[in-house]
Structure 1
């Protein structure tokens, strides 16, 4: 596992590598096959709700490695982990050493009891495990040099910022218009600013900070649209759009090999006024109603009763290179698809090899005049700004 994480670049420092080589992951996932426990991509589900949805898990090693590298934890630090499980807290305990302090919290008594037991059995009884709704943080043990959130968060409550040391780092998987990124945030002139972000996925946070996505059914349960927050959607118009002939537009933009393009997704979520994820079951895909990209949530532009989404088309016989293609549905399909293609080309021209997005988190009371240009996402406690510095020519 450690070798794979190093090969893929998820483990970058000797200190985090040593922690992963030291803590026995199987001690926190008893009963799970070792092949699953130590697969860098595998999540071990530890609890499901009444509908069978995962509500607690031991995250994939690669995600844990990425977030711990983002956090830059050093010996002697005080660290708060929000969302417990035990294994990640043990890794943090290795990083802070005997002079440091680790507090891990969860809202679920089952998770807290399990983490307490497994940490003690694995040799980390010094980790403080608390039953807490983390919306209010843990003021009695603050301030924290690092706060790491290991559940998908829709917002950043004031307590997390207030309990973060002045030079501290907050690492949080934040949902932005349906997309989740693990963002490392530091203070800058009265608000939080990103110093890096990574693609990730987590079970959603529970308690006072919970905020579920909306699922808009377009064709029974076979085709649906996932949208964030209180976004207004013309559901009837979109259902009708599926019955109309679709249009297809080639972008001329290709990707290949192992080049990631998740920044294109974030750029589209930033640029489009109305944005969602089109999802479909295999039957709808096999029937040719939508493309295969909808299996994982196709990034979709919405406008009234029309929509367009991105798919890909192989451009080599060995299927190692692909061209982005946009499919449009509805009365304005042609225009929306063309506009979508232009955004893909803009990303390719200006941002594909650039520095990425700048993400800033302002308190909700911040006047609009004090916030720079960009896509402003309004949340309960914060105003999140996404902007894209242009790629500078050499």
Structure 2
């Protein structure tokens, strides 16, 4: 089953280098998730939840193999490196140990003693007991083991604390699932002239950071708990009652004229919208609300939404062929200014289509908070506790 998973991941492009492929072929993933069925353990897309809170929400997990492979490929780990993993579980640390070899060093940390005890036990049982497992709040890093050639964060982070930058070697890489305006991407960040600069990024999802680095999104209920807006902490929603009223108003529906193929990724459109729109959130809805026709199916996973004081507009898609091999982006608006907001949204979809679709993507730069940052046209500066994050879109040739 491990061999079959590796072959599937190679075919899908998850595994691109010999070292990462070899690590996945060697490390027994089932030993780090002994309570899960093997079919789940060796499913390329499956997350194994190892701890939940009282409400059933995941607190710790063994990430999906394709996400782990994605981040390890981003990290470009070589033999002999010193690597810090923030967010433990054991399995990913074992993969890293295979990549750094006997001359390298791996430190894996977590704030939860349940997680670190479990990781230490499984690592020892599988022969990876030279990995250092520590229970700490990773906001302060691990200064006694620094500097690190690579820091890999396997929990969703809202910010980059100073310790992670200070403890990163001058030519090191930080790979972190960073949340920007409600969207999380795994960024590979390199040090350059006092800031971090993105080398690449990928779509991902992770359990949120706990401890001093925790920063939860806000949920604005629009129709009980069935329909809500999820907004990041940098977004101010001044009139939630007006947005609730907007939901019950007549709906504006307009096609964009922009189509995508059935398997074409368009997550960069989401990131572009989050950059371009002054007020941005995710419209989320339960199945009953979707079935009633109040909102579209895209709200099940979080429809990317333009916000105004009393109106909002979001995107969905509808098939343009009976075979469902192509889809047109449709924009829906609610509220007294829905017409203007829908037109703005469609204009941005067309701008993405003309200037950025299939291009090199966004560039992200992370500066210490308080830095005077020049923001290019069309870019956005997102202020956080420790950093100012610049995101902009170089025009593709």
Which interval holds the TM-score relative to the shorter structure? over 0.9
The equivalent residue for 1:190 is 194
Q: For 1:157-306, what aligned pairs fall within 5 Å after superposition?
A: 157-233=161-237, 234-306=239-311
The equivalent residue for 1:55 is 59
Q: Which runs of 4+ in 1 moved over 6 A?
A: none
Residue 384 of structure 2 corresponds to residue 379 of structure 1:
yes
For normalisation by structure 1, the TM-score amounts to 0.98
Q: 1:308 aligns with which of 304, 308, 313?
A: 313
Shift of residue 188 of structure 1? 1.4
Shift of residue 21 of structure 1? 0.1
The equivalent residue for 2:92 is 88
Q: Distance in 2 between matches of 1:179 and 1:148?
A: 19
Residue 133 of structure 2 corresponds to residue 132 of structure 1:
no
Q: Deviations over 1:300-353 (max 9, x none)?
A: 000111000000011010112100000000000011001100100000000002
Shift of residue 158 of structure 1? 0.2
Q: Distance in 2 between matches of 1:166 and 1:56?
A: 31
Preserved CA contact (<8 Å) 2:181 2:234: no
Q: Distance in 1 between matches of 2:46 and 2:358?
A: 29
Shift of residue 257 of structure 1? 3.2
Q: Deviations over 1:24-69 (max 9, x none)?
A: 0000000210000000000000000111100000000000000000
Shift of residue 258 of structure 1? 1.6
Q: Distance in 2 between matches of 1:123 and 1:148?
A: 22
Q: For 1:56-75, what aligned pairs fall within 5 Å after superposition?
A: 56-75=60-79
Shift of residue 372 of structure 1? 4.5
The equivalent residue for 2:82 is 78
The equivalent residue for 1:332 is 337
Q: Deviations over 1:204-242 (max 9, x none)?
A: 000000000000000000000000004221210100001
Q: Distance in 1 between matches of 2:367 and 2:20?
A: 31
Q: Distance in 2 between matches of 1:52 and 1:15?
A: 37
Q: Distance in 1 between matches of 2:205 and 2:271?
A: 14
SS, match of residue 236 in structure 2:
coil
Shift of residue 367 of structure 1? 1.6
The equivalent residue for 2:395 is 390
Residue 366 of structure 2 corresponds to residue 361 of structure 1:
yes
Q: RMSD over aligned Cα, in angstroms?
A: 0.8
The equivalent residue for 1:37 is 41
Shift of residue 286 of structure 1? 0.7
Shift of residue 265 of structure 1? 0.2
The equivalent residue for 1:99 is 103
SS, match of residue 153 in structure 1:
coil
Shift of residue 111 of structure 1? 0.1
SS, match of residue 144 in structure 2:
helix
Q: Distance in 2 between matches of 1:106 and 1:283?
A: 38
Q: Distance in 1 between matches of 2:240 and 2:8?
A: 45
The equivalent residue for 1:145 is 149
Structure 1 stretches of 5 or more lacking a match? none
Preserved CA contact (<8 Å) 2:6 2:24: yes
Q: Distance in 2 between matches of 1:18 and 1:93?
A: 12
Q: Deviations over 1:235-264 (max 9, x none)?
A: 101000011100011101101132100000
